[in-house]
Amino acid sequence: MPVATGSDSLELNNSNPLPTESTLVRREVLVKNANGLHLLPCSLIARAVKEFDGTVKLIRGSQSANAKSVMDVIQLGAVSGTELIVEVEGRGAESVMDRLEQLFADEFMTDR
């Protein structure tokens, strides 16, 4: 029967990383305004997230757009009735998501 020696001792590492406040939030939104995501809605999206230090993506199928870029969002070609996934990652992600969801719900206050 083998005998354990000092070199076989188990070393415990109690240096767990500190939890971060960075969060990933992912939700579906529906483009309801009649003209879809044209220049004005895309500008409002970019303006709503520009100060956010994290990442914000709009996803349509296999396409992904950086929500801080008006041109990226326009290139999604999201017309009325398009379902998008909004992905927000970083500190304060919930409040940024709430702001974006409100823009979509209010139809960007356009096309009414």
Is-contact 56 87, C-beta < 8 A?
yes
Domain ranges, ordered by start, for the chain: 24-109
CB 99, CB 48: distance < 8 Å: yes
Task: Note the pLDDT of residue 46.
Answer: 97
Return the CATH fold of 24-109.
Histidine-containing Protein; Chain: A; (3.30.1340)
Q: What is the pTM of this model?
A: 0.78
pLDDT tens column, 43-84: 999 999 999 999 999 999 999 999 999 999 999 999 999 999
CA distances from 24 to 21, 31, 55, 56, 97 (A): 10, 22, 9, 10, 10
